[in-house]
Chain A
Amino acid sequence: MTDNCQRLEARVHTPLLQGSNLVTFAVTDKIILAGQPEPEDWVRLAQQGFSLVVNVRSDPQRAAAQADKAHAEGLAYQHLTVPAYELETAHIQAFRDALAAAAEGKVLVHCRTASRVALMWMLHRMVNDGWNQQQAEAELQQAGYSDDDMDVFRYCTEDFLERASMTDLILS
């Protein structure tokens, strides 16, 4: 089996939320990046050891409805509105703070397709954890993200770093 096939298998055939079709990628034992949960997934999340859900989608009405469902199942819930078109260092630091709200148990971090959260996780590793880009990319690939996905993350990371560097120049 090739590396690509192994990655595909990890993405398609290893549901991290049992009984669900939710798109999921485990970047650590505790942090699961995901697409949009279905209404029936909230009870599964609670039953399968999750303690916190972080939503980075922009829609506040959807987030409010989700928060109610999460709280009804005993899950903590964080809605983090960030501009995906123009991420800045402060957004990545807020992302770190949202993750820090986790108690014992796993954390589900979701957007619509699990792409935006992967970019944020990659930038989190680089900005907050001091990883280099190669290490951050390797972690996402290990979790099952495809080469096409990685092209997106590289492009957006380059855009982020260009603007961060310009900000540093302005502030210095």
Chain B
Amino acid sequence: MSVTFDELLDVKGAKCPMPLVKSRKAVNNLGVGQVLKVVATDRGSVADFQGWAKTAKNIELVAQEEGADNGDTVYVHYLRRTK
């Protein structure tokens, strides 16, 4: 899947809850409607971002995908700022 995005946040190696906190900060710097692509290595980030999208008032989880980066599994999340 290829999703168009406006900003990229690399949080590979970051432990919970750092990917969420850094993503929240990055989303706040987006314009409404823009998309943030987050690349993480924390497996738990998949559920964490789903949980965030359910409770946050200003984001939509557009897509999630799994990939590989230098032998590591990476978890990619696309977040759109909605307000």
Please give the residue numbers on chain A whose beta carbons come within 8 Å of chain B beta carbons, in ascending order: 58-59, 81, 83-86, 111-113, 115-116, 119, 148-149, 152, 155-156, 159
Contacts of B24 in A (CB 8 A): 85-86
B-side interface residues, number (CB < 8 Å)? 18
30 contacts between A and B (CB under 8 A): A58-B47, A58-B48, A58-B51, A58-B55, A59-B47, A81-B55, A83-B52, A83-B55, A83-B56, A84-B16, A84-B20, A84-B21, A84-B48, A85-B23, A85-B24, A85-B52, A86-B21, A111-B16, A112-B16, A113-B44, A115-B17, A119-B17, A148-B15, A152-B14, A152-B16, A152-B17, A155-B18, A155-B21, A156-B17, A156-B21
Contact indicator B20/A85 (Cβ below 8 Å): yes
Number of residue pairs spanning A and B whose beta carbons lie under 8 angstroms apart: 51
* Chain B interface, >50% SS class: helix
